[in-house]
Structure 1
Amino acid sequence: MSRPERFAKAQYVPSHALITGASGGLGRALALHYARAGTHLTLWGRNEQRLEAVAASCRQQGSEVTCHVLALTDLDAGIALFRKDDSRLPVDLLILNAGVSDIRPEGSVTETVEAVKEAALVNYAAPVTLATEAASAMALRKQGRIVFMGSVAAHHDLPFASAYSSSKAGLSRFATCLHAAMAPHKVGVTLIEPGYIDTAMSRRLDGARPFLVSAEKAAALIAEAAARKRAVLIFPRLFTLLKLVSILVPRPIAHRLLRLAKVKQKAL
């Protein structure tokens, strides 16, 4: 016999969800997951045409949608825009989904300075400053949820993607610190550390993408974790075991093995 409806756990439905990186594959899936009557969506992205297409699909599902085209490398502009959006209608769900991924060019000793700078700003500096601003406002209201999009790359010293893995590692520590700080104020902070998600970012990699997860499934898992105010979600679960292995294996051995990896990336 099915569980009586009156005992079912209520689904978390935000009044105002702000999603960064909403013009990408996972951002689109997240926006569509939350799109419904009664939920206002504020979508940030870099590609105006794709962002407007996502907004149109969300409006068809009943949401009111506001779009902003901006580059998160401009930290001051991002903070000012968040304050404007939050003052117009308090943000009760902030999903910091935007990110960049680049690897060392073939034949080069290091990644480019430009790629490292962009990763530092977009993958770390922008989300932690936006989250700090959001947490301050949410704590006063005694409600809200903040979701960070990390990566299982944070668990490993990837010599071919130093900027990406280190920026995600820094984001990971910040997220768990903020979780500890915000718990007494009834603000949920969730760190998501996925493996491969079937998006344009992962499709750039020239090679296998083991345990690939669709953007739609990833969005559902992320939404569930945010609803439950989980501190950390790693998926697929196998990557939790790999994280433990990376801790146990001596670093010189791990580095030697990682240097053997042949990873290439297709041009944009």
Structure 2
Amino acid sequence: MSVAVMGTGKLGELVLAGLLRSGRPVDQVLATARRPERAAELAERYGIRPLSNEAAVARADVLVVGVKPQDAGKLLDEVGGKVTADKLVVSLCAGLPTSFFAERLPDGVPVVRVMTNTPALVDQAMSVLSPGAHATEEHLATAEEIFKPIGRTLRVPEYQQDAVTALSGSGPAYLYLVVESMIEAGVLLGLPRTVAHELAVQTAVGSAVMLRDSGEHPAKLRESVTSPAGTTAAALRELEVGGVRAAFLGALEAARDRARQIASDMAGPGR
């Protein structure tokens, strides 16, 4: 089964690289690029020959739409009418519901919406899938096969995807900000920057592995580090005074609302 990544920006390239790392034959992995210099870069980096959008639609069994949400309508206007019902469309476009594609594709074309994230670069992505109206169990399994090599997969109803976008799609940025803040604090406390960086990064990695592999609730793991009247308790008190929980809730609500706004903006008059 051949897969075409249509739009090789950040997420699109991560999926492309993951497909090739998974052992899929190079001749079954296709890609498109808008700019000739980008096409040349992909050819040199991955040993593939990027195609036009029209050629990719003609040749591929699965079309992974990796363009920016604001460019999806233009792409579908260009080639959507040539997509047949025996193909599968996988959307990486944040905020865009499967109905956006269904309205612009021939009747019966299956669409699966996927929100993945940048840890795909190290095969630790969280990819969350939702089926469109014409997507079957077989289509979902096909999409999972594409994303499993770059991390974990999960299925949710599509109405939950905006919350998924806010939590795991944008989530790496929140964690990077936390680690960045810890590094800067370490420097202010007198540590060399290289030492502060190593301490903060390894602490984040180790904590994440414990969260994933222990099966414990994060509150229990937090409590295991926190001695009564100790240093950790003092630090956590300051975070609570600073409203860290409320700040995260506000941040995720803002990301969710932005995803909804993208969908509203792209729907257009009469849609």
Higher helix share: 2
- TM-score w.r.t. the length of structure 2 is 0.40
- TM-score w.r.t. the length of structure 1 is 0.41
